Amino acid sequence: MTAIDTAIRATAADIELIGVTKAYDAKTTVIPPINVALRPGEFTVVLGPSGCGKSTLLQMIAGLERVSGGKIVIGGREVQDLEPKHRGCAMVFQNYALYPHMTVAENMAYSLKVAGVSKADRAQRVGVVAKMVGLADFLPRKPGQLSGGQRQRVAIGRAIIREPGVLLFDEPLSNLDAQLRHDMRVELADLHRRIGATSVFVTHDQVEAMTLADRILILNKGLIEQFDTPKAIYHHPASVFVAKFIGAPPMNILAVTGDGSALRLADGQVVANYADKGSFQLGIRPEDIAVNAGGSIKAEIRYREDLGSHEILETNIADQNLRITMPFGAEIDTEQTLSLSFPRARLHLFDSETGRAIHNAFDDAKTAPTFVKEYQ
Amino acid sequence: MSSESSLFGHCWLPLLLVAPLMLLIVLFFYVPVFQAFYWSFFLEQPFGGGSEFVGLQNFARVLSDPEFWMAGWRTIVFMLTASTLAVAVPLMLAIAADRKIGLSYAARNILVWPKGIAGAAIGVVFAFIFNPFVGLMAPLNALFPGLWNPGMDGTDAFVTLVAAHVWSGIPFNFVILLAGLRSIPPTMYQAAAMDGASPWRRIADVQLPLIMPQLFLTFVLEFTESITSVFALIDTMTGGGPGGSTTLLVYKIYIDGFRGFDLSGASTQTAILMVFVLLLAACQFVFLGRRINYER
């Protein structure tokens, strides 16, 4: 494998978006000015719900979509006005977009052919790439004779054959079934490690984002909600949107009021001590709630879902829904009222108007670093 | 889908429903075809009456006639030039319309209209357009007398014929080819753009290979169409002249049969023409059809 490792290896380029914006006309702005810097060799996942502008962003980097303003700098070169082929990017498409009339080998070698690489060199490179993506035995076949996973491998092979400095992925796994998606995820991570290209991966699947990314860029209506490592995003979400988007089941968000000494639910129950006054949104992950461990917060069980490895309880607390994840084998009586406690270190506090996180709200020692960066 | 037997309870009902159409096809296609083949082995009297079996004598007579070979050669030249142009011109138009260049939406509609015009009418109009004294070429003729005269020059007449045929073939082929181009997924172009292919290169490497089924269909139809439907154009524009230069086989058959009353000779030539068209289509399917990738 070492020979292959050295054969295809990209010179990773950094990507900088400076005030990049996209508007189709005066009224429809898809992406307001965005500023982001991706390090060389970094695997960035752009995550967001459909229609958040993540694919548009990717297409602007690729050069398939014109920017309405701002600069795109790849490897120190301003590229926003260049043709796709001059940007040093390669792309893997959601529907594979393989040329149906060409064989696997021809599909992978097409960019080299256009670039005028000799036939012998093309064949040699195709051989190396085919081995890397596990398609060495399928080179003479047409895409129509391949399975979905194999087609995706061809698409990946086609992208990496030119050793691009930047690899772009547009929801490449969403057409695959669950098992295959998992396998391809592992392979992609492995390929990225071996090739070393700067990768931008667009998806709406938070599992793909959490497992693949060095850093996740979460987009909402074209705005960056948070750009940080998966760990930081999970443990220190910068906004209610991020908190709800990451994690399955998502974080519970409860409306609470601060009276100067404590945060109270609508029915007056105290959930945590807090010094400020006003209305807030309090977040706690379903798995962080301690059940029947001497807590004082009362909740009624409405519904119980047994998932084998764990259970999810849907409970009612001050007329708000609260999900609790219980480990397998926990003895719970559905008729009983639960007494809960919210571990202080696991609580997240958000401004009720802006939805932004209030950092270190419950960090009494005030020593924890501020993970969350503000954009815009 | 449910089985056919549950859709049609009676086996004679579907037959009854297609019967009117079958009757027309048999009456006006198969019967004349067999009649032509049959007559090609007999010597027919021009005004009816007794006919005499002559074996292959009709074929011997026709095949030894230089006029037949001349008409056959002209037919092949016309078939190759006219049908190639009748596919190439709509192909260019369709690629342009697919690109969404300016006015392509309007062009898409306008280009379809000539489909509704009868061949004879096209012939009359084109004869006028290419008239050496009042037509498009009249100003050039004024500058260079004798440059263009389809009434005197056989090549000019032939070119006029080809132009009229190509024009009449645009709508149908344009629609078919444009439909093929529209069905190519846009990500295919994006992928090619990422691979570094220029727009012209994308035409050659992506668009043309992906519309092969449509190109094949238009070529097969054009080849046969150019042999048979050209009759109306010849009859209205040139009458086979000047000096027989636009007498294609299909027109010669008409002249021999209905003007010269050589029914046997005309039938024989018809039989030969039919076998030629049949072989041509068969060859296209055997040598081209199998290579076409219908998968998207």
Q: What is the pLDDT of residues A9-54, one digit of tens each?
A: 667 888 999 988 888 887 888 888 889 999 998 999 999 888 888 8
Q: Which two tokens stand for residue A255?
A: 């409306």
pLDDT higher for B53 or A122? A122
The answer, yes or no, to whether residue A3 has pLDDT greater than 60, is no
Q: Is B233 on the interface with A (CB under 8 A)?
A: no
Q: Quote the pLDDT of residue B253.
A: 81
Q: Where are the beta strands (DSSP E) in chain A?
A: 15-23, 29-38, 43-47, 69-74, 77-78, 89-92, 166-170, 198-203, 215-220, 223-228, 252-259, 262-264, 270-273, 277-284, 290-291, 297-306, 310-317, 320-327, 337-341, 348-351
Q: Tens of pLDDT along A304-326?
A: 888 888 889 899 888 889 999 98
Instruction: Let me know if B284 is exposed, middle or buried by CB neighbors in 10 A (0-12, 13-18, 19+).
Output: middle
* CATH number of the CATH domain containing A28: 3.40.50.300
- Nearest by Cα to A340 from A297, A310, A370, A372: A297
Residue-level pLDDT at B53: 76
**CATH number of domain containing B130:** 1.10.3720.10
pLDDT higher than threshold 50 for residue B2: no
Look at A114 and B197 and tell me if their CB atoms are within 8 Å: yes
CB neighbour class for B268 (10 Å; exposed up to 12, middle 13-18, buried from 19): buried
- A151 and A259 together in one domain: no
Average pLDDT score over chain B? 81
A360 pLDDT band, cuts 50/70/90, is confident
Judged by a CB distance cut-off of 8 A, whether residue B196 touches chain A is yes
Residue A100 lies in a domain: yes
| Statement to judge: residues A164 and A268 lie in one domain | no
* Whether B183 contacts chain A with CB within 8 A: no
**Domain-located, residue A67:** yes
CB–CB of A142 and B295 under 8 A?
yes
In chain A, the percentage of residues whose pLDDT exceeds 90 is 26
| Residues of chain B contacting residue A101, judged by C-beta atoms under 8 Å apart | 209-210, 212, 293
B7-38 pLDDT tens trace? 656 778 888 889 999 999 999 989 988 888 88
Distance CA A94, CA B262 (A): 67
- Classified as helix, coil or strand, A224 is strand
CA distance to partner chain B, nearest, from residue A342 (Å):
49
ipTM of the complex: 0.80
Q: Is residue B228 part of a domain?
A: yes
Across the interface, do A142 and B194 touch by the CB < 8 Å criterion?
Answer: no
Is there a domain that residue B13 lies in? no
Q: What domain range is A315 assigned to?
A: 249-351
Query: CA-CA distance, B93 to A218, in Å (whole number)?
Result: 45
The contacts of residue A23 (CB under 8 Å, 6+ apart) are A29, A30, A31, A68
Structural domain count of chain A: 2
pLDDT of residue B20: 93
| Domain of residue A338, CATH code | 2.40.50.140
- How do A166-170 and A198-203 pair as beta strands? parallel
Tell me the Ramachandran region of residue A181: left when phi exceeds 0, alpha when psi lies from -120 to 50, beta otherwise.
Answer: alpha
- Shortest CB distance from B190 goes to which of A97, A101, A110? A97
